[in-house]
Each structure stands twice: as C-alpha cells, then as structure tokens.
Structure 1
Amino acid sequence: MVIVVALGALAIAAYLQHPLFGELPQGERLARIEGSPNHAGGSFRNQTETPMLTTDESQVAIMLSNTFGKTGNPRPPGAIPSVKTDLKALDVSQDLVVWLGHSSYYVQLGGRRILVDPVFSANASPVPGTNTAFDGTSLYSADDMPPIDVLLISHDHYDHLDYPSILALQPLVRQVVAGLGVGAHFEAWGYDMRLVREADWYETVRTPALQIIATPARHFSGRTFTRDQSLWVGFVLKTNERRIFFSGDSGYAPHFAQIGRDYGPFDWAALDAGQYDPRWANVHMTPEQAARAAEDLRTRVLMPGHAGRFSISPHDWDDPFKRIVAASQGRGYALWTPEIGRPVYLDGRAQQFSPWWETVHANDLQKLAGDHES
C-alpha cells in the first residue's frame, strides 16, 4: 500500500509538470505586479470584499456533492442546436459577434478580428473527462479561424485559457491582451512576448482603429494550487462607431455601474450569467444580477454568457436562459439569445432570436415518443 501511494504521488507530481499548467509570474513581470494598486499581501485583490465561498462546506465537500449528490440536470438531454458559420468568409468591414459557446466569442469591430477566451477543446479541465462540452457545441477549431488581430484573455482558468487552443492559434495571432501576470503562461508556451500586452484594471491598450480597456471583475485566478497571482479582467472595446463590453467571469458588484459611467453607454454587452450557485455567490452572477448589471452598464443589448457548452454548477443546464428571459422583461435593453455559431450584427438591423434551448427538450421528448411507439 505504501508503494502504491508513493507511486501515485509521483505520478501526480510528474503530471503537474505538464506545460498546460502554465507558469507563475517571476522577475520583471512579478515586480510590475507588486507595484499594482490591486495587489497586496502577495496576491491580487477584488475591489469588493469577496470570500470565495459563501458556505461552511469545504471545496472538497462541494466537489463530492456536485459529483455524487442529488443535483438537477446540468447536462442537456440531446445535442445543442448550432450554426456553423464560415468565419473566414465574413466581411471584416461588418461589425458583428459570433458566440462560440460558454465564454468564447469571435468579434469583428472597426475592421479588426478579435477572439475572446477561445476554448476549442471538448474538455475544459486539466483532468480528462471532468468538464466535457455538451453534445453539438464543439463546432470550431483553430483551423476555422481567420487571422486574429487581437486575442483577449479574461483570466487563466481552464474554461477561458485553453492550452491546446492557445498553441494551435499561435500562427494566427498578431497581438494578445490579458490581465497582469497572464503573460507568464504565454511566455512558457512559446509566444513572442513582443506581441503580448498585460494590463491592469482601467489600463487602455490602443491598436489601429480599436481601443481596449481592461476593467475590473469580481472573481479569482489560478491554474494549480496557487491562487490570484494573475489578474482577472473584463474588456471594453471602443471604435469611433461602437462600444461593446465583455464582463469575463464576475460576481455582481459596483464596478459595473462605474464602467457604465466611465465608458458607456454600450451598444452590446456579454455578461457572466450561467455558473451561479449559492455556495459561491460572490464570484459569478445569477441571471437576475446580470440583468441588473446590464442596466448599470447602460447597454442597449445583453447577451448572456458563461453557459451553453460546459457545466460547472449543478443547476439545470437551461436554467440560465429561462431566468435571463424572465429577468429581462421590462428592462431598458434588448436580450439577444443566438445559437452557438450564429453571427449577430451590431449595425442596428432587425434580428430575431428564438428560445432554442426549448427545442432540445422537444427533440428529446420526440425521441422518447418514437422509442415508446416502436
């Protein structure tokens, strides 16, 4: 037994050397981090006091409860409906967004092609088979991407910074913008650091025809057992014609109103609305909180994100969509709920969106009815 335990420990230690775990900041990068007003006591801090858990349960107990306890239906009963758009064939002069599932987006703005938190892998976890994509959602790979002018990374969690995707995209990426410290991963993975910009909260990165502002979020970071050594951010994207916003992973807090005052109103915003749970209520928003944040931001359009491809929380997989529809009634913005892969246009044209999540249940019921008749 001692030998088995020792061999197991050695295997784990060896696996932790895999490059997918990335690197912690060191040297000049660490010195810059330590000079940030958002860094204190050896780690980054949220603007609002943010205990990670809002329960007496330990993280191990939560993990076991999610795995073996009684939960809802965190995975859909059938394939998610989607549209495979040829991204390379899109007219780059058209301002548009294509949701790629979860928190991944392809964006065209001001003639620039932008990719946000791309996760093409079917498993968003360092442990195989523990966070697998829903059927029908793994439409895209790096081979489907056109040249990318700017790659945006909100933080270094596995469902936002995907090692195989980042490696595969390297020949296509002309610039990377991420929070302070995230560049350590890109450097370890062989990126030319002249192309990587690391930004603190409220810092602006200017590129041709496009301004990118890294904004606060209420969350945390870390790929191993060490947390909060790199910064988690949202992004404001500004051109002469439009302003759009990505929240990244974030709990609700006053920073949304501040961003709305400083940079709004927005033409479009994507907000974290899909991985909530009372046990970690500070670091992800419920759909109702996302609706409130959309009004704080003064956005004309809201698209819910962090849902529809991976399940991190034990609630029903379609609960975010049902609740955001209800929470958006009577609000001062339009709610857009496109299928994965469908372009949405930011030029004011009329666009209609159906409750596609309802068709997953309908298809499942039809299948059950067909099986019963046979």
Structure 2
Amino acid sequence: MGLFFVGFLLAMVVAVFLFINFSPEFGGTPTKEQKMRYATSKNYGKGAFKNIGDVQMNMGFGVFVKSLRGYIAPQPHTKPEKDISVEKIDSISISLYEGPMRLIWFGHSAFLLQSGGKNILIDPMFGDVPAPHPMLGGKRFSSSLPIEIEKLPKIDAVIFSHDHYDHLDYGSVKLLKEKVGVFYTPLGVGVHLTEWGVDQSNIIELDWWGEVNFQGLRFICTPAQHFSGRGITDGGSTLWSSWVIQTASENIFFSGDSGYGAHFKEIGDIYGPFDFAMLECGQYNELWKEIHMMPEEAAQAGLDIKAKKIMPIHWGSFKLAMHPWTEPVSRILKKATELNIPVTVPKIGEPIYLDTQNISKEKWWEAFN
C-alpha cells in the first residue's frame, strides 16, 4: 500500500512537471537579450519588474493559509443562481459600424472598442475558464459571448494590460491572431504571443509612459499597481499596465488590474480629464488590496483621474474571490453617489456610446440572484 502511495505521488509530480513545462498555456520565457533590454526600464530591478515604491502583496505563509479558508468553506452568493444572459451583436453590424466611438463589454475586463472605422480589442479573454486548464478554474457566468471569436471581423489592434489568465488567454489569441493587425502590450508580454505563433513584427511592447500613434488613435501605456506571471517561477517577468486611449475628440482610460495608489492622480494630472474610465472593482480581498482595488477605492480613482463617467469592470464573469458576485457593483455605486461621480453599468454585450450623457440605471444583475 505504501509503495502504491509513493508511486502515485511520483506520477503526480511527473504529470505536474510535464504540464508546467510543455503545456502551451503557460506562454514563453524571456531570453537573456530581452532581459537586458528590460533592465533599462526604471520599473525593472533584480531580474523582475516592480511597482512604484516597490509595493508588493504581503502574502506570507500565515496570510496565505488565511486566504485559503474562504475557498474551503462554502461562501454564499459568490456566483449567480443561473447563467447570465448577454446582448448579442453580429459581425455585420460590427464591420459596417461608422458611428461615434462606442465600446462593447464582453464581461470581466474584455472590450471591443470601435472608433473611426477601427476595431480595437482590450484584454480579450474569451475563454470559458481563466486558468491554464479547465480543472483549475471556475467557468464563466454566461454560457455564451456577445459574439463568438470566429465571427469577429478584422481586428485592427489588440491591447493587453498584463499576462494573467483572466486577461491574456491562450485559446483566444490562437483564434484571433490571423485577423489582428497589431498587438500592443506592456514590456515582456510579447514573449507569450510569439510563443503562440504571433509574428514579432506584429507586436509592439511599451514601458510605462510610452506612447504610440496608430491610424488616428493614440495609445499610452500607463502605470498600474499589480504583478505578473503565468507559472510558478516567472513572477514579475513581464510588466503590467493601465492604458490611455485617445482620438482627436475622445479620451478614455482603462485601469487593467491595480491596487489603489498615487499613480491614478498622476495619470489624471498628465492625461485627464477623461470622458470615460473603465475601472476594476472586483475580485478583491483585504488580504491582497495592494494589487486589487476595493470598490470604494475604484470610485475614488475615478475622481483622481478626473473621469466624467466611470464603469466598473473585472466583475460579472468569473469567481476569483470570495465576495458575493454582485457586491462590487453595489459598493461602487454607493460610493460613487457619495462622491457625485456618474457610473454606468451596461449589460454584457450592450453598446456604450461616449457621445451621450445617458446613464444606464437598470440593475440587470438582480435578475440573476
């Protein structure tokens, strides 16, 4: 019996080793030359990227064990009672759209942005599970997307904020890569894309405060307070960021993942005011608030960046924390009311038009509790 148990453990160790080292979902590894280039960044030191002020998640062993309790003991209302329905949009209406700037939310932090006849995807995680294997994560709250990847028309550019599984998805990139013109990422994230078959010439990596013009649009890679890594030993090997997206008449902000910090005010002072800001407010815990904002902090961040209107993101699709699934939106709405900052909470798939002052008041999420 003992020999059987030892053999089983050895088999498991070998299986995990093979999975980590050979499964494509884990992405690529920076070369020595690439690391030398990263070392010229002010955000890189001792072989890894770092936050402003070297802020880190204080996850010691005791805190780690404490964080696991919520996953072991059942927690109420962490997922919807039934599948969330989504608004459908077809490829023809996307490809023929020539109106003012609009965004379509795919849930969590994924968006399609349309402006000036261009189609831009932001953090297009379209997979069912935000993990390297379906058995390692929970399924998406909705059984379908506003439009399937295969039906999307030509995508002019894709913007990624960092390399975590709920933002950078192997399966989505494999299906998208042949219809995408250019991929924009923070430093280092391109190593995953090239590993997955994207041509290096179609990838542009930027450091914080780096800017690039793209066919009438301006993309600015701005700071965030987070971390990176897709495996066990690659923490900090790639940079994380927020993004500013500008046209001649619109100015929007995408937070990516971030804890609350002074960088929001700095971004607002340099690039604000913003017509619209997408701010992460879900998957939080006091144990890791350094790298994920609490909802009240997200509302305050909206003020810091001088946003005219904000939208809560990073919620409504996956269970990645132990809070009730609708708590993020309820808390940010309450705080935003106190701060007198407009909030819109569209349905998944519902177009968001920046040229209108209308604010969605429907609490659609209540129908799925």
Classify the TM-score, shorter chain. over 0.9
| Unaligned stretches of 5+ residues in structure 2 | none
How do 1:82-161 residues align onto structure 2 when only pairs under 5 Å count? 82-90=86-94, 91-129=97-135, 130-136=137-143, 138-161=145-168
Q: Work out the CA distance in 2 between the residues paired with 1:103 and 1:261.
A: 24
Q: CA-to-partner distance for each residue in 1:68-117, whole Å, 9 max, x for gaps?
A: 12423211111223211225413134300111000101111233211011
Structure 1 SS opposite 2:312: strand
Q: Which residue of 2 aligns with 1:350?
A: 358
Alpha carbons 2:88, 2:145 under 8 Å: kept: no
Using structure 1 for the length normalisation, give the TM-score: 0.92
Using structure 2 for the length normalisation, give the TM-score: 0.93
Q: Which residue of 2 aligns with 1:24?
A: 29
Q: Which residue of 1 aligns with 2:239?
A: 231
Q: Which amino acid aligns with 2:100?
A: Q
Q: Work out the CA distance in 2 between the residues paired with 1:84 and 1:70.
A: 33
Q: CA-to-partner distance for each residue in 1:349-374, whole Å, 9 max, x for gaps?
A: 5353301111223xxxxxxxxxxxxx
Q: CA-to-partner distance for each residue in 1:233-276, whole Å, 9 max, x for gaps?
A: 11000110100010000000000000001001001010110111
Q: Which residue of 1 aligns with 2:178?
A: 171
Q: Tell me which of 40, 43, 46 is aligned to 1:35.
A: 40
Q: Which amino acid aligns with 2:193?
A: F
Cα deviation, residue 314, structure 1? 0.1
Q: Which residue of 1 aligns with 2:80?
A: 76
Q: Does 1:336 align with 2:340?
A: no
Q: CA-to-partner distance for each residue in 1:197-236, whole Å, 9 max, x for gaps?
A: 0100000021110010000000000000120110001100
Cα deviation, residue 10, structure 1? 1.1
How do 1:295-310 residues align onto structure 2 when only pairs under 5 Å count? 295-310=303-318
Aligned length: 360
How do 1:182-193 residues align onto structure 2 when only pairs under 5 Å count? 182-193=189-200
Q: Work out the CA distance in 2 between the residues paired with 1:14 and 1:92.
A: 48
Structure 2 SS opposite 1:97: strand
Alpha carbons 2:91, 2:147 under 8 Å: kept: no
Q: Does 1:215 align with 2:222?
A: yes
Q: Which amino acid aligns with 2:105?
A: W
Q: Does 1:9 align with 2:17?
A: no
Q: Does 1:267 align with 2:267?
A: no
User: What root-mean-square deviation, in Å, do the aligned CA atoms of Structure 1 and Structure 2 show?
Assistant: 1.6
After superposition, the Cα gap between the structure-2 partners of 1:115 and 1:88, relative to the gap in structure 1 and judged at 3 Å, is: farther
Q: Which amino acid aligns with 1:11?
A: A
Cα deviation, residue 332, structure 1? 4.3
**What percent of counterpart residues are identical?**
36
Q: Work out the CA distance in 1 between the residues paired with 2:151 and 2:341.
A: 32
| Unaligned stretches of 5+ residues in structure 1 | 362-374
Cα deviation, residue 141, structure 1? 2.6
Q: CA-to-partner distance for each residue in 1:260-302, whole Å, 9 max, x for gaps?
A: 0100100101011011101101100111000000000111110
Q: Work out the CA distance in 2 between the residues paired with 1:54 and 1:12.
A: 24
After superposition, the Cα gap between the structure-2 partners of 1:166 and 1:215, relative to the gap in structure 1 and judged at 3 Å, is: same
Alpha carbons 2:86, 2:145 under 8 Å: kept: no
Cα deviation, residue 139, structure 1? 4.2
